[in-house]
Structure 1
Amino acid sequence: MSTLQGAFRRYPVVAATIVIGLLGLLLWALGLTVAVQWLFSGLGLVVVGIQGAGMIRRMRQGSFGVDLLAILAIIATILVGEYVATLLIVLMLSGGAALEDYAAGRAQRELNALLDRVPQIAHLLRDGSSDVEDVPATLVQIGDQLLVRPAEIVPVDAELVSAAAAFDESSLTGESLPVERHAGEAVLSGSINGQAAAIVRATALAADSQYQQIVALVAEASASKAPVVRLADRYAVPFTGVALLIAGLAWFVSGDPVRFAEVLVVATPCPLLLAAPVAFMGGMSRSARNGIIVKGGGVLEKLARARTVVFDKTGTLTYGTPTIARVCPEPPFTEGELLGLAASAEQYSSHVLAASVITAAELQGLELQRTETAVEVPAHGVTARFGDQEVIVGKLSFVAEHAADAYPADLVGGELAIYLAVNGRFAGCIVASDQVRDNARATVQALDKLGVHESVMLTGDARPTANHIARQVGITRVRADCLPADKVDAVRAIRERPVIMVGDGVNDAPVLAVADVGIAMGAKGSTAASESADAVILLDDLSRAARAVAIGRDTVRIALQSIWLGIALSIGLMIVAAFGLIPATVGALLQELVDLATILNALRAIGGRRDVRARGVAARVPTATQPVPTR
């Protein structure tokens, strides 16, 4: 009963129409036909006033009111005395809004599932004891030990303290099977613990944890409106014109104004109003289920029309996990001294290669020096002072500004180098490499088959390295030695639009923002990149970029199919009604069936079966870490 009352409060016009309909039925049984006519007609006039005010408001905002036909149909049925049809049209309009709301809720289920599962409570273990204190997840500090009970959600990003445990990461990675983790391995917030209690150590605050970042993106996507008005506006004017033309001809030829009303009854524009929002919400839901957060239906529409894709190299086309291949010192420095100085300076860099240099130094047992006088020049390098030594580490051009004797390293395909200068003298270089993702070439080919024929790579690396990677993955247009501003200029200059940009790092944030569609590799990428992007891939899987385009194309195709299905059925009914073969009351009922067919077709955009088939043939992304590029 409470559910019914809630529905009536949520849809007051539907509730009023049903109540008035039942009251009219009672009055008709009592023989008060005139009263029924006045009752139904009065309701129709009230709805005309409400709908008309909304239509005028939208027209002032520059949007043509596609509900004009419904208003004209109500007025026409009142004037010709078809008051039962009046009631049915009102029920159709108000019920159509309720159906749309239900369908949108069905399509948004996967989006809301993430929001509903936000971890709220953490079980804190005090001072390594077994005493458990429940605290809000937002109060957990880095280093705190937490108890995660069976089937509970991990509240923050952490590392496993227990010897081993199994976690369900399906909501984060799409992997349906539980994942085994061992002591010291990372555990993502939002994953669900298995059958045994586990102890974890927090490695991030709640606000910085993976799951909270996903929730923030989902909330932003949910709040974004799909391009409903734009799609409807493309067909509203011609559809209205055709309907009025058929209705006018029917009246003119037959001389019966009832024909005019009968045609307009089956010409109500609910298919235009319902198809687009339902399909786009379904597409956003399908994207979320595939590990892609799309920030609005407009993004899906641009993805569907994309003609060019632009890739960053490091961490996007490659795994982004550098491996140091060799250290090449200049006398009097040794390999250990050069690596130690480079790692000490790279502590103050945010570049992906810095972590690999530091790791290589630590594996050799080298002690890193500390300083308070270190400055990073983004995309160039780092300047640091350790005692009486000024160390410059970074790109050749940057180091050469401080050491005129610097010269380029002898590199083979796919390698890159960082260079060092100490006190104004060239000290040598460290050579690294980065493995191309196994599915990078297949992703470029898949995008080409989807209509994205132009592919470009923008990178800060030297041209030989960039060309080598481009040949491996099948990209024909390359721009190397790019600074962030150069990437922005390059994307703006592309003529084949819309343009998709796929990147992952802080230096990609500007170009992601200026692209028609920016896609961030959010699994390892920076928060800045994710915030600048229009879509975020939550998994470390480049092939999801092609999946996003496929979902966009499917969504727009289904939305347009649904619109044309509704238009075709409505025009067919209008022609039949023009010959007087469909009474107004029957026409109103038939139009409800047209609306239902439109909604059901649009719900195909959720695409559950297609995704199951796609997952069955999807290639797994290797987890092995490999070498990487320059700045």
Structure 2
Amino acid sequence: MTRVLEFSRRYPTVALTVTVGLVALLAFFALPGSGPTVARVLVTTFALVVAAQQGWGMVQDARRGQWGLDVLALVAILSTLAVGEHWASLVIVLMLTGGEALEDYAENRARDELTTLLSRAPRSAHLVLGEGSVLDVAVDDVTVGQLLLVKPGEMVPVDAVLVDEAADFDESSTTGESLPVVRHRGDTVLSGAVNGSTAVTVRATATAAGSQYQQIVALVEGAAESRAPFVRLADRYAVPFTLVALAIAGAAWAITGDPVRFAEVLVVATPCPLLIAAPVSFIAGMSRAAKNGVIVKDGGTLERLARVRTAAFDKTGTLTHGEPRVSRVLPEGRTADELLALVASAERLSSHVLAQAIVDEATGRGLDLSTDVTVDDLPGRGLRAHVDGRLVVVGSYDLVAETSADVLRPELVPGEMSVMVGVDGRYAGTVTLSDEIRADAATTVSRLRASGVEHVVVLTGDAQATADAVAGEVGIDDVRAARLPQGKVDAVAGLTGRPVMMVGDGINDAPVLAVADVGVAMGARGASAASESADVVVLVDEISRVADAVAISRRTVRIALQSIGLGIGLSLVLMVLAAFGAIPAIVGAGLQEVVDLVAILNALRALGGPVGETSGAARVRSTRPTASGEVEQRRDALV
């Protein structure tokens, strides 16, 4: 009973239509003699009131320059009343008023993934005070640096770093990763991640407003309110469809001389699928993308994404990981692990990005680093350190050559850099580093080409040789290097195959993402400037999600077109049958409801389906290299 009352409050016209129908049926059977007349008068009066409301709404729409399909419903109501088919007119009224409820259901079903993100947004946080006490505070009151307790099963309220030794988190709500991800002390834990089975302590690195999950919520709120230009395309079918329907109805009346045929044709010529199925498809597609770790900001973007003919990629952080990693260890007179352990011990306390990469590699190999270290930092050149009593010099060729003999210069590939090492006055080897190409970059490019993208280009500020090397590895032959932000903007403006999709990740990519037909930001690292200027934000650090987004958008548009075609096609078939007298008005009204349902169910197919080669099989489950066999393979290759 409660649900009935709630439904009645939300959809009063539907409830009133059902009530009028029940009262009319009761009068028809309960009042001897006068029952049919009472029922006819009641239904006719109610239908005329609804028709008047529809007519006034049409006038208001016409003043705004909008022309819809409601004119067919209005004419159908009036024509059925004129020929005495008052029960059919009531079914048409129910179809019109019930369409709102049906559309709400379909849209709510399609929005599931989007609304789930919104509803789960953290509201409070457990602030850790002195002596282990905890105070619950509003998430908006959390400041950077505060210690927070995250209980089992709770969502991390703000972006933070893990204070405890290790913990596992469910990041599916933000990245789409279905398996728990292991984080270790000092690792970043983004807001929105759900803690596992043990309470953990984290230290806030951002406020709520600046955290990943709140930014996602803002994107989702914008996406949920969007209406695609493509949806208005469905509205443009209204005029020709209306004219065709009126022509068929008029011809049936003229040929048979029976005005009932006119009414019967128009009863089945009220294609709500034309108005409902397209927006439902788009909302479902956006929800599908969100489930896959991609936020599409509006329906118009989804439509443009489906038509992309040119894809442009930034190099650093997009086709590559965007951070240096050890590529080779070239020892002299010792093993690779021994050399790496010495260098990492010397670099352990350095904040330099290259030093951190070397330490990460050593840690990933499980090497023990010495703590008996004193360091003399030489800015711009390297460092001298005493590690367990041994003099270790790490840095440039010139620095190491000052104290070590026979220093060798290794042959470097484009994009690779070297760190020379001397130990106790002798050359000990070289560690090379490079910004590694993403494992899924080449597959992503090939998938885009297979889906219909005709032209793929690299736009980067890096040197031509480095850019050419990366592009060659991933299968791109158009490389435009040494481009500053304005140069990237000019390059995108000059591309002829439209729409153009630009994929980038950094602050310097924000201008070109804004001018591209579709700007895609690799937003997993919280590059807010890029994310805010982009139309699409990839929430997980996998470039394959770009190809997934294109696949989802193309499938969504295809389903939307199918739904529109299905609605029009079935309505035309029913109109022809009605013109020959095969479908009575009351039956036709019911069949039209079936057509509505079929078209909407077809539109909801955009919620599922394949997206191509997903990257799930290749995902790393832990932020520590030792958790993946991939690192062991890399280790073999390095030495």
After TM superposition, the score normalised by the length of structure 1 is 0.82
- Deviation per residue, 1:333-373 (Å, 9 max, x gap): xxxxxxxxxx9xxx9xxxxxx8558878999956598xxxx
The 2-side partners of 1:219 and 1:182 are apart by: 32
Alignment of 1:322-471 (within 5 A): 322-323=324-325, 355-356=353-354, 365=375, 412-415=413-416, 433-471=434-472
Alignment of 1:75-86 (within 5 A): 75-86=78-89
Query: Structure 2 counterpart of 1:237, which letter?
Result: V
- Deviation per residue, 1:253-307 (Å, 9 max, x gap): 1001110000000010211011101111110110100000011111111111111
Please tell me whether residue 12 in structure 1 is matched to residue 12 in structure 2. Answer: yes
Pair 162,304 (structure 1): closer, same or farther in 2 beyond 3 Å = same
The 1-side partners of 2:620 and 2:304 are apart by: 27
2:119 to 116, 120, 124: 116
Aligned partners of 2:264 and 2:583 also within 8 Å = yes
> 1:256 maps to what in 2?
258
Aligned partners of 1:279 and 1:602 also within 8 Å = yes
> 2:336 maps to what in 1?
none
Aligned partners of 1:77 and 1:83 also within 8 Å = yes
Secondary structure of the residue that 2:610 maps to in structure 1? helix
Structure 1 stretches of at least 4 aligned residues deviating more than 4 Å after TM superposition? 323-326, 354-369, 613-618, 621-626
> 1:37 maps to what in 2?
40
Aligned partners of 1:566 and 1:595 also within 8 Å = yes
- 1:92, CA displacement in angstroms? 0.4
Q: For this pair of structures, how many residues does the alignment match?
A: 550
> 2:289 maps to what in 1?
287
Aligned partners of 2:462 and 2:483 also within 8 Å = yes
- Deviation per residue, 1:175-206 (Å, 9 max, x gap): 22222223322222111112222122222222
- 1:223, CA displacement in angstroms? 1.9
1:52 to 50, 55, 62: 55
Query: Structure 1 counterpart of 2:473, which letter?
Result: Q
Query: Structure 1 counterpart of 2:51, which letter?
Result: V
Please tell me whether residue 574 in structure 1 is matched to residue 580 in structure 2. Answer: no
- Deviation per residue, 1:90-112 (Å, 9 max, x gap): 10011111101101001111111
The 2-side partners of 1:186 and 1:170 are apart by: 16
Query: Structure 1 counterpart of 2:210, which letter?
Result: D
Q: Which runs of 5+ in 2 are unaligned?
A: 329-346, 361-372, 380-410, 419-430, 626-630, 635-639
Pair 325,163 (structure 1): closer, same or farther in 2 beyond 3 Å = closer
Alignment of 1:536-555 (within 5 A): 536-555=537-556
Secondary structure of the residue that 1:539 maps to in structure 2? coil
Secondary structure of the residue that 2:28 maps to in structure 1? helix
The 2-side partners of 1:366 and 1:46 are apart by: 89
Query: Structure 2 counterpart of 1:43, which letter?
Result: F
Alignment of 1:592-607 (within 5 A): 592-607=593-608
> 2:610 maps to what in 1?
610
Pair 53,513 (structure 1): closer, same or farther in 2 beyond 3 Å = farther
Mean CA deviation greater in 548-557 or 4-13: 4-13
> 2:426 maps to what in 1?
none
1:181 to 161, 177, 183: 183
Pair 164,461 (structure 1): closer, same or farther in 2 beyond 3 Å = closer
- Deviation per residue, 1:476-497 (Å, 9 max, x gap): 2121111111111111111111
Please tell me whether residue 135 in structure 1 is matched to residue 137 in structure 2. Answer: yes
- 1:455, CA displacement in angstroms? 0.4
Query: Structure 2 counterpart of 1:200, which letter?
Result: V
- Deviation per residue, 1:304-344 (Å, 9 max, x gap): 11111011111001110125899xxxxxxxxxxxxxxxx9x
- 1:44, CA displacement in angstroms? 2.0
The 1-side partners of 2:436 and 2:478 are apart by: 20
Query: Structure 2 counterpart of 1:196, which letter?
Result: T
- 1:39, CA displacement in angstroms? 2.0
Mean CA deviation greater in 532-541 or 522-531: 522-531
Q: CA RMSD in A?
A: 2.9
The 2-side partners of 1:76 and 1:169 are apart by: 57
Aligned partners of 2:277 and 2:560 also within 8 Å = yes
Pair 619,118 (structure 1): closer, same or farther in 2 beyond 3 Å = same
Q: Which runs of 5+ in 1 are unaligned?
A: 327-342, 348-353, 370-409, 418-429, 627-631
- 1:32, CA displacement in angstroms? 2.8
Query: Structure 2 counterpart of 1:79, which letter?
Result: A
Secondary structure of the residue that 2:209 maps to in structure 1? helix
> 2:92 maps to what in 1?
89
Aligned partners of 2:168 and 2:182 also within 8 Å = yes
1:231 to 230, 233, 238: 233
After TM superposition, the score normalised by the length of structure 2 is 0.81
Mean CA deviation greater in 447-456 or 613-622: 613-622
- 1:546, CA displacement in angstroms? 0.5
Pair 621,60 (structure 1): closer, same or farther in 2 beyond 3 Å = farther
> 2:492 maps to what in 1?
491
Aligned partners of 2:325 and 2:436 also within 8 Å = no
Query: Structure 2 counterpart of 1:92, which letter?
Result: M
The 1-side partners of 2:114 and 2:474 are apart by: 33
> 1:241 maps to what in 2?
243
1:62 to 42, 49, 65: 65
